[in-house]
Amino acid sequence: MTQEIHSLDAADLNPTEMYLLLRDAVIPRPIAWVSSVDVDGRSNLAPYSFFNVCSNVPPVLGFAVGPRGKDKLTGALIEKDTLANIKATGELVVNIVPEELIEPMVRTATGLEPGEDEFAFAGLTQAPSEKVRPGRVLGAPVAFECRLFQIVEVGTHHWVMGEIVRIHIDERIYVGAYKGLNHRVDPLRVEALRPVGRLGRAYYTRLREIDTILRSDASND
């Protein structure tokens, strides 16, 4: 097999070029649909696709938040509402995005003014959380109530980690006891609830063709 390669030195790419290359090449990515509140209790909801699980002990999710933009006078980076809210309150909810809410999710990425409610803007219903102040998205197959674990500054971005304190699961994908474990989920059970993934630009992906390929020392648990 032969393969022609176009190689680049990372130092030759400007920040925008690097961002677009990473966004379009590292795919598909899960989406953290993060709800938060400011100190006055005003809700915010925004999607972040630089997202994944950090740890199960303790249970921690992490996602990257970039700047909102630059101050026109000083050139200083402006924090997004999500980051500012989590810094101020130490609380957040990570909602998993289902197929049936993909369009409202995209609408919540609109750059609204600080304090404006993305739930209302996107026509979404906010369900109350139990251990944190931010609400969760009604219709999300899974929602994780979290308290701030740590924020790590990575260049112009911040890697935000939240420790899970409460989990809400749609009954239609909740399996319960399975192979000796008490709480399992199957996100493929209901098509409308299947999580969507982020690709580059305005592209998203739905879960359809799924292969089972086992390691020689593993089982399909």
Asked, for residue 168, whether it belongs to a domain, the answer is yes
Q: Is residue 217 part of a domain?
A: no
152 bridge partner residues: 159
Q: pLDDT-derived band of residue 120, with 50, 70 and 90 as boundaries?
A: very high
pLDDT digit string, tens, across residues 55-102:
999 999 999 999 988 888 888 888 999 999 999 999 999 999 999 999
pLDDT grade for 49, boundaries at 50, 70 and 90: very high
Q: What is the pLDDT of residue 93?
A: 98
Average of pLDDT values for 168-189? 92
| Number of folded domains that form the chain | 1
pLDDT tens-digit readout, 187-205: 889 999 999 999 988 999 9
Residue 77: predicted pLDDT: 85
Distance separating alpha carbons of residues 89 and 85, to the nearest angstrom: 6
Q: Is the pLDDT of residue 3 over 80?
A: yes
Expressed as residue numbers, the domain containing 154 is: 26-206
Whether residue 145 is predicted with pLDDT greater than 90 in this model: the reply is: yes
Residue 17 lies in a domain: no
Residue 167 has pLDDT above 90, yes or no: yes
User: Which pLDDT value is given to residue 221?
Assistant: 74
Going from the C-alpha of 27 to that of each of 39, 81, 175, 203, the distances in angstroms are 35, 26, 28, 10
The three-state secondary structure class of 192 is helix
- At residue 215, the pLDDT reads 85
Q: What is the CATH number of the domain that holds 39?
A: 2.30.110.10
User: In DSSP terms, which residues pair with 52 in a beta bridge?
Assistant: 62
pLDDT at 99: 96
Element (H, E) at 17: helix 15-25
| Domain membership flag for residue 78 | yes
172 part of a folded domain: yes
